[in-house]
Amino acid sequence: MEEKVFQFWLHNLPGAGDRTIGKLLKHFGSAKKVCLAKPDALKPVLKEKAVQRILEFNKIFDPQKVYDKMTADGIAFYTIEDEKYPERLRKLKNPPYAVYCLGRLPEERAPAVAVIGARECSGYGRDMAKAFAGKLARSGVSVISGMARGIDGLAQQAALEEGGRTYAVLGCGVDVCYPLSNRELYRKILEEGGGILSVFPPGMKPSRGLFPERNRIVAGLSDLVLVIEARLKSGTCITVDMALEQGKNVYAVPGRLTDRLSDGCNLLLRQGAGIALSPEDFLAEIALLGNRKELAGSAKESRLSEGAEETGFEEGGSGQETISFLDYYPKSADEILEDMRRMGIAIDLSQLRQNLILLCMEGRAKQTVGNYFSRQ
């Protein structure tokens, strides 16, 4: 078996979390050496019960067979040793050893925002989720969430409706749609070029104890977090705490003082969270993130190579080409797209929007009312 299969075996060991995996790898040097180690060799690192669990596990688990089935089902497996492992997660204090992905990983250089909130949301919350997530998607920002009922799912649905990309992080295996009521959303995320991610092996059923780690990964994959409706004590607040621990900026949409669904957001604002008064203002805050300027250059390159592979478009539509179609008088993204295609530049609307928002972040363009852009 190749090392990747041994890594898969290691990540599936019963009772072995990231800390235990780290100890085993530090002691033995590779997943293969851990797998082939004799019971006595494991005892300096593991307790007797843990060693026995491994022996019993090996009797029933065929790593090569299970790994082959997983990849045949389209599920990718990335460990922290892989080049494609998400860089945002690699930067965490305690990065997960492995990530499973059905579909695509989030684009490394595209801005990413976690949009989270209450499961039992109000009409106001639904409207705000659609408005903010839709605007983010139109501007080329990836929407990250947990595909839960309420705000999470509504935000991801709005992102898809606007032609953007969204990525769901699950508290179960990527092949387990949870909640079942969002099965259509699950399907559309994959169809529209997004991804379903999890740090739990395929087949793992959802359970309450898995969701804190799911929430940590949602925050970890995002540049900042936007909260739209939350009660004082909720899973949303756990995600916020984890985002703050990671040094992420947190924003909240204010709500009525008498609305219990807004208590969490209003408290966050009282404690110093950024205030999200409109999708346009929020986008301006994203553009001010210092790390976006550092990432802007390579963003276009990674996007273009992916776009050529997906659509068969010829390489083109770079930021430099895009800005040449901007004027000091605002033009809509649709008008810019039409002008570019008329000049023979093959580019789709999603890619154009990402080019435009990155130009805004670089200070070379600005977004005015709605989906209109002009030279800076």
CATH of the domain at 357: 1.10.10.10
pLDDT in tens, 340-364: 888 778 888 878 888 887 888 777 8
| Long-range contacts from 25-33, C-beta under 8 angstroms, 24+ separation | 30/3, 30/6, 31/3, 31/6, 31/7, 32/1, 32/3, 32/6
Residue that finishes a domain, picked among 242, 270, 287: 287
Mean pLDDT score of the chain, rounded to an integer?
88
Question: Do residue 230 and residue 321 come from a single domain?
Answer: no
Residue 222 and residue 313 share a domain? no
* Contact (CB, 8 A) for 109 and 298: yes
**274 & 160 share domain:** yes
What would the DSSP string read from start to end of 228-250? ES--SSSHHHHHHHHHHHTT-EE
Inter-helix orientation angle 235-245/211-220, to 10°: 50
pLDDT of residue 257: 86
Query: Is the same domain home to 138 and 269?
Result: yes
pLDDT, tens digit (0-9, with 9 covering 90-100), for 287-345: 766 434 433 333 333 333 444 333 333 334 556 678 888 887 788 888 888 888 887 78
Residues 227, 143 share a domain? yes
Residues 225/219, Cβ–Cβ less than 8 Å: yes
Position 289 scores a pLDDT of: 63
CATH number at residue 200: 3.40.50.450
Same domain? For 153 and 28 the reply is: no
pLDDT, average across residues 73-92: 97
149 and 236 part of one domain: yes
The pLDDT assigned to 234 comes to 78
CATH number (domain holding residue 55):
1.10.150.20
- Domain's final residue, options 103, 129, 145: 103
Specify the pLDDT at position 371.
Answer: 72
| 254 shares a domain with 128 | yes
Beta strand pairing status for 274-275 and 249-252?
Answer: parallel
Model pTM above 0.85: no
User: Do 264 and 301 fall into the same domain?
Assistant: no
Domain end position, chosen among 103, 136, 161:
103
Confidence band for 29, pLDDT divided at 50, 70 and 90: very high
87-146 pLDDT tens trace: 999 999 999 999 999 999 999 989 999 999 999 999 999 999 999 999 999 989 999 999
Same domain membership, residue 340 and residue 233: no
Q: Is the pLDDT of residue 71 over 80?
A: yes
Say what the pLDDT of residue 288 is: 66
Q: How many structural domains is the chain composed of?
A: 3
The separation between the first and the last C-alpha atoms of the chain, rounded to the nearest angstrom, is: 56
Task: Give the separation between CA 263 and CA 7, rounded to whole angstroms.
Answer: 44
187 and 118 in a common domain? yes
pLDDT of residue 64: 97
Range of the domain at 48: 3-103
Per-residue model confidence (pLDDT) at position 67: 98
Asked if residue 88 and residue 130 are part of one domain, the reply reads no
How far is Cα 334 from Cα 355, in angstroms, rounded to an integer?
13
- Residue 238's pLDDT band, with cuts at 50, 70 and 90, is confident
Show Cβ contacts of residue 58 under 8 Å, excluding neighbours closer than 6 positions: none
